[in-house]
């Protein structure tokens, strides 16, 4: 009981910090829910010069959400805050929250909203100390309750939902390989889906390893078709209400990935009206 009270006290103080640290949001803007490429985002909606962006990235496991969120955060000079990373950092820190987390994770239980919010708050507090502003959240909010809490304390400008057809996701997951020596990730799947019924085709080149890794490549034990399908089913069940929540607010941008990074990155920038920004940065570099 004492632990629960401590946790509640901790998370309510975290919430008030979250409120303070995020209350700098500027003009609230509205984005209509739409699907790329039929209805590109209106030009006036995203102006990264007015203030730093406060975005959320959604997408099922294997879609490459972390990669796109990380690239955009670099481009926009805002932190990429991934809850998965926060959990891993907390676990390895040996803190009391880390120990609590380890117990929850080891029992196969879900990490509560309070703990997630407490970690997010701690991360933002540390970032604020370093002069950070704006953010791209990756892996949060995962539930409607988390989305509601987030709404109480800040304005989310845009929620980007990255999508790939299930057949492509499965093929991609089954193609994953990890080098047992250097730990780098590769992918042997070569995806080439022809466009049909008005849907554009999808092509993804494999991400092959350098010769020195070839003999050391391993497949993760849980990258089987059954496990991947189950993972997607669980994800869809949970994310649907969160997507609906943001769709209802007119903030959801559905983005059907046209392929791997080389195909998708320029399209994503175009839809977000950031293609100019990247040109400027690459000229400056
Ligand atoms: Zn290697």
Phi-psi region of 183 (alpha: psi -120 to 50; beta: other; left: phi over 0): left
CA of 216 to the centre of ligand 1 (A): 7
Tell me the CA end-to-end span of the chain in Å, nearest whole number: 56
Torsion of CA 136, 65, 144, 12, to 10 degrees: -40
CA of 209 to the centre of ligand 1 (A): 7
145 catalytic per annotation: no
CA of 108 to the centre of ligand 1 (A): 31
CA of 189 to the centre of ligand 1 (A): 18
The pTM of this model reads 0.76
Specify the CATH superfamily of domain 2-16+51-271.
Answer: P-loop containing nucleotide triphosphate hydrolases (3.40.50.300)
Contacts of 279 (CB under 8 A, 6+ apart): none
Longest dimension (CA), the chain: 59
- Taking CA 34 as the corner, what is the angle to CA 33 and CA 38, rounded to the nearest 5 degrees? 165
The answer to whether 190 and 86 have CB atoms below 8 angstroms apart is no
**pLDDT at residue number 212:** 96
CA of 53 to the centre of ligand 1 (A): 36
What are the φ and ψ backbone dihedral angles of 114, each rounded to 5 degrees?
A: -60, -45
**pLDDT at residue number 152:** 84
CA of 208 to the centre of ligand 1 (A): 11
Catalytic option among 176, 177, 251, 267: 176
Catalytic option among 220, 233, 238, 280: 220
6 catalytic per annotation: no
231 catalytic per annotation: yes
Bond preceding residue 37 cis, omega within 30 of 0: yes
The answer to whether 205 and 260 have CB atoms below 8 angstroms apart is yes
- Taking CA 197 as the corner, what is the angle to CA 250 and CA 34, rounded to the nearest 5 degrees? 10
Rounded average pLDDT per 10-residue block, the chain, 285 residues: 37 51 40 44 48 91 90 94 90 90 87 85 85 91 91 89 93 93 94 84 92 95 89 92 97 93 93 83 64
Q: What CA–CA distance (Å, rounded) separates 54 from 68?
A: 15
The answer to whether 62 and 50 have CB atoms below 8 angstroms apart is no
**pLDDT at residue number 8:** 39
CA of 210 to the centre of ligand 1 (A): 7
Catalytic option among 122, 142, 172, 177: 142
**pLDDT at residue number 50:** 60
Catalytic option among 20, 145, 163, 231: 231
Tokens 């879900």 label which residue? 110
Token digits for 246? 């943001």
Token digits for 101? 């987390």
**pLDDT at residue number 196:** 80
Residue ranges per structural domain of the chain: 2-16+51-271
- Burial of 270 per CB tally in 10 Å (0-12, 13-18, 19+): middle
The answer to whether 250 and 32 have CB atoms below 8 angstroms apart is yes
């Amino acid at each position: 009981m004492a632990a629960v009270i401590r946790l509640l006290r901790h998370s309510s103080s975290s919430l008030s910090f979250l409120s303070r640290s995020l209350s700098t949001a500027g003009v609230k803007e509205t984005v209509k829910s739409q699907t790329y490429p039929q209805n590109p985002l209106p030009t006036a909606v995203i102006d990264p010069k007015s203030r730093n962006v406060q975005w959320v990235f959604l997408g099922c496991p294997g879609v490459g959400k972390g990669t796109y969120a990380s690239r955009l955060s670099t481009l926009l000079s805002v932190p990429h805050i991934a809850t998965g990373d926060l959990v891993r950092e907390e676990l390895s820190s040996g803190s009391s929250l880390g120990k609590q987390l380890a117990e929850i994770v080891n029992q196969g239980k879900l990490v509560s909203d309070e703990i997630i919010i407490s970690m997010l708050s701690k991360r933002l507090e540390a970032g604020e100390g370093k002069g950070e502003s704006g953010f791209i959240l990756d892996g949060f909010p995962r539930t409607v309750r988390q989305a509601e809490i987030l709404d109480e304390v800040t304005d989310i400008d845009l929620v980007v939902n990255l999508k790939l057809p299930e057949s492509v996701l499965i093929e991609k997951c089954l193609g994953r390989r990890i080098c047992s020596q250097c730990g780098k990730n590769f992918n042997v799947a070569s995806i080439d889906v022809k466009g049909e019924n008005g849907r554009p085709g999808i092509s993804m080149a494999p991400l092959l390893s350098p010769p020195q890794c070839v003999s050391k490549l391993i497949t993760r034990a849980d990258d089987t078709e059954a496990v991947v399908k189950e993972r997607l089913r669980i994800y869809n069940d949970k994310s649907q209400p969160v997507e609906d929540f943001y769709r209802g607010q007119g903030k959801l941008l559905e983005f059907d990935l046209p392929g791997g990074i080389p195909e998708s990155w320029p399209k994503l920038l175009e839809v977000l009206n950031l293609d100019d920004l990247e040109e400027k940065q690459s000229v400056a570099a």
